[in-house]
Structure formats: structure tokens, C-alpha cells
Structure 1
């Protein structure tokens, strides 16, 4: 398999998005794969990207990639 794997335990699917948190602002940002090796970012596969949830009261910002 080529590429990065999903960060979820026991998931071996290829990552398609990166999730980051801002605890101070109670916000989660989900977007295209970020730079590898960031200890504060979590790579997710397509399934876990769709199923992602955050604590009540938090805001989710989804950055969509631009397609031509």
C-alpha cells in the first residue's frame, strides 16, 4: 500500500484527510492530508472521515478540496 494510513486503532485503510483540534476554541478542522509527522494531527480514511464526531458544543470546519 502506498501512502499514509488512518490513525484509528485497528484501521488499515489509506488516509484521505487530516483532523486537527483547537481545544481553546472548541473547534475541529478536517481537510486534505496535512504535512506528515505532525503529532497534533490525525489522519483519517474516508469511512472515519464521514463518521467523525466531536463533543457537544464544538464546531467542525470541513475544508473541501477544490476540484477542476
Structure 2
């Protein structure tokens, strides 16, 4: 896997998680960094993963990997 940076504008930190959206179900899914880049997802650093917020009425699903919570 090649080095990947956070998708947030102006952030140059290393990405540690991948965020995807399901607009139909009003859900955001945050999990471990995907194995490959996907144009339909967003790679986030640890700071932006922790600060993630979604629109009112949406839910966030956070997947864990080896005891780490994203």
C-alpha cells in the first residue's frame, strides 16, 4: 500500500481511515484505511477521523480493527 494523505483540504497528515457515505440511508461509515484508493471514498488522518461530524439525522458507523476505533 502506498502512502496516502488525508483528503481534507490543506491537511498533509498521513491517512489512517477511510470514510464512505450511504446517502440513501443517511449513514457515514468510517473504518480502517482501504487497501486501495477509491474515488467514492475519503481517506482521513486520525485528527479528522476523531472530529468527524455528519448532518442532523444521520448516523455514523465506526468499524474497529485490532482494538482500534476509528
Q: TM-score, normalised by structure 2?
A: 0.88
Q: Larger % of strand: which?
A: 2
Name structure 2 gaps, 5 residues minimum: none
Deviations 1:24-53 (A, max 9, x none): 000000000113221111000000000010
RMSD: 1.2
Name structure 1 gaps, 5 residues minimum: none
User: Whole-Å Cα distance in 2 between the matches of residues 63 and 47 of structure 1?
Assistant: 16
Q: TM-score, normalised by structure 1?
A: 0.91
TM superposition outliers: structure 1 runs of 4+ over 4 Å: none
